[in-house]
Amino acid sequence: MKTKRILCLLLSLCLLFALAAPFSVAAAGEDDEIVANMYLCHRRSSAAIFGHCWVYIENLSNETLQVGAYSCPPGQGVSVGNWFITRADGNGIYYNVEAYCGNVYGVKGMTATKDTLTRAELKKVSRRAAEQNQWGLFRNCSFYAAAVWNAGSSKKVIPFFHPTVVWLQILLHGNVGPISMYFPARDQVRRQIGTGMLSATYVVSDGTVGKQI
């Protein structure tokens, strides 16, 4: 009788495992699904000492994707970058400043390199994007863009405080720029508040979008 009970228990456990296994495989498959394109971008000005770096993410899925503190609808994209006092809403992380101003004023001297993001890789990129909300010499646009890019790409770049160094690495990885960025609505140009899980966004003032990037 005891042997029979043990056999019944083992059969029950095998049945539970068989039922659970497809869900585990499906979850792993979802993590490996490519959901976005990611671009590491640079805009070089006429004076070589100036420039700006940012990351642009293009949603390839049929669902809203989380990029830092921003929710990116399907069929759209979002640029994310770190700005200093050149934007009216102060220093920190902005979403869609580059995409909006780039569509309004154009982007001269733009280069970019590209990689794809799986769902799992995008989660890492999203977490890294929201971790910082401050500008500094060693936390500037190029450091930030490189860190966000490195969180999800196998084509690593060495972070450096001067955007030109990141630009040279973009050329080494293969320049696909200039790229077309989705033209966001005015209320989709946003400034991050807080960091990490507590981060949120608000719509930027007109002064922030009133000039080229």
Q: Can you give the pLDDT at residue 9?
A: 40
* Cα 28 to Cα 22: distance, rounded to the nearest angstrom: 10
* Cα 148 to Cα 131: distance, rounded to the nearest angstrom: 10
The domain ranges of the chain are 1-32, 34-209
Q: Can you give the pLDDT at residue 193?
A: 96
In contact, 152 and 114? CB cutoff 8 Å:
no
pLDDT digits (tens, 9 = 90+) for 19-65: 333 333 334 468 899 999 999 999 987 555 678 999 999 999 999 99
Q: pTM for the complete prediction?
A: 0.85
Q: Can you give the pLDDT at residue 73?
A: 98
Residue 13 — pLDDT band, cuts 50, 70, 90?
very low
pLDDT tops 80 at residue 12 = no
* Cα 131 to Cα 22: distance, rounded to the nearest angstrom: 34
Residues paired with 7 in a beta bridge = none
Q: Can you give the pLDDT at residue 20?
A: 39
Q: Can you give the pLDDT at residue 3?
A: 44
pLDDT digits (tens, 9 = 90+) for 83-101: 998 899 999 999 999 999 9
CA 211 to chain centre: 23
DSSP string, 148-202: HHHHH-SS-----SSHHHHHHHHHHH----S-------GGG-EEEES-GGG-EEE
Local structure of residue 103 (DSSP, 8 states): H
Residues paired with 41 in a beta bridge = 54, 112
Can you list the pairs that 183-187 forms with residues at least 24 positions away whose Cβ atoms lie under 8 Å?
Answer: 183/99, 183/100, 183/103, 184/76, 184/78, 184/96, 184/99, 184/100, 186/100
**Torsion angle (degrees, nearest 10) of CA 200, 185, 44, 178:** 120
**Which token pair is 33?**
């699904």
Q: Can you give the pLDDT at residue 196?
A: 92
What are the residues whose beta carbons fall under 8 Å from the beta carbon of 75, sequence distance 6 or more? 59
Task: Read off φ and ψ for residue 198, nearest 5 degrees.
Answer: -95, 5
pLDDT digits (tens, 9 = 90+) for 142-173: 999 999 999 999 999 998 888 889 999 999 99
Whether omega for the bond prior to residue 22 falls within 30 degrees of 0, making it cis, is no
